[in-house]
Amino acid sequence: MVAKQENKDVQEFNRRSLTCEDSWEQWFFFDRLHKAVLDLAENQANPKNIVDVSCGTGRLLCNARERWLDAQLIGIDPVEGMVEKARSMMPSATFYVSMAESLPLPDASVDLTFSTMSYHHWVDQIKGVSKMARVLRSKRRLFLAEIWPPMGLAKVIHHFQSNDAARMREVFTRLD
Residue 28 is predicted with a pLDDT of: 55
CA-based angle 97:100:104, to the nearest 5?
55
The residues with which 143 forms a beta bridge, in sequence order, are 114
**What is the 8-class DSSP label of residue 30?**
I
β-strand pairing of 110-116 with 49-53? parallel
Q: What are phi and psi of 172, to 5 degrees?
A: -75, -30
What is the spatial distance between Cα 143 and Cα 41, in angstroms, rounded to a whole number?
8
Through-space distance between the first and last CA atoms of the chain, rounded to whole angstroms: 31
Residue 47 is predicted with a pLDDT of: 92
In CATH, which of 3.90.1150.10, 1.20.1530.20, 3.40.50.150, 3.40.718.10 is domain 2-173? 3.40.50.150
* pLDDT digits 0-9 by tens, 96-130: 999 999 999 999 999 999 998 888 778 888 899 99
